[in-house]
Amino acid sequence: MRIYPESWTSKVGKTVFRTQDVQVGQSELDSTVMIKATAVANVQDLLKNAPLQRKILALFQSSKGFEINDWGIRHHQPGEILQARTARDLMDRMADVADELPGGRGPG
């Protein structure tokens, strides 16, 4: 699985090259991120979780530098030096999403 921000290049890729974009049925999330997966049904089942959808949406709305994949969540913003408060906020958002993913601590 790979989830990353929707961009104009990914929109062109979907239109011209039929690039995969798994849809989860939540319009705001579907328009905010690109989702690629080999096990499409598994990813769709995972992303039916409404709290997870909200947390992923909040994550990507806070910064376009996020990517979620099978190995974890990363943030990369070239040329940006983060203030401590901003870094803590991004880490908290990443932890919120990680808690909802398989292998996370789960709710509570």
- 83-101 pLDDT, tens per residue? 899 889 999 999 999 998 8
For residues 74 and 40, is the Cβ–Cβ distance under 8 A?
no
Q: Is residue 106 part of a domain?
A: no
- Is this structure's pTM higher than 0.85? no
Q: How many domains does the chain have?
A: 1
- Return the minimum-mean-pLDDT range out of 49-53, 69-73, 101-105: 101-105
C-alpha–C-alpha distance, residues 18 and 10, integer Å: 10
Residues β-bridged to residue 3:
35, 68
Establish if 75 belongs to a structural domain: yes
Task: Tell me if 96 is assigned to some domain.
Answer: yes
> Is residue 28 a part of any domain in this protein?
yes
Instruction: Kindly state whether residue 105 falls inside one of the protein's structural domains.
Output: no
Is residue 59 within 8 A of residue 30, CB to CB? The reply is no
Domain that holds residue 6: 2-100
pLDDT at 108: 43
Q: What is the mean pLDDT of residues 10-20?
A: 75
- The answer to the question of residue 73 being in a domain is yes
Domain-embedded: residue 58: yes
Tell me the average pLDDT across 48-61. 94
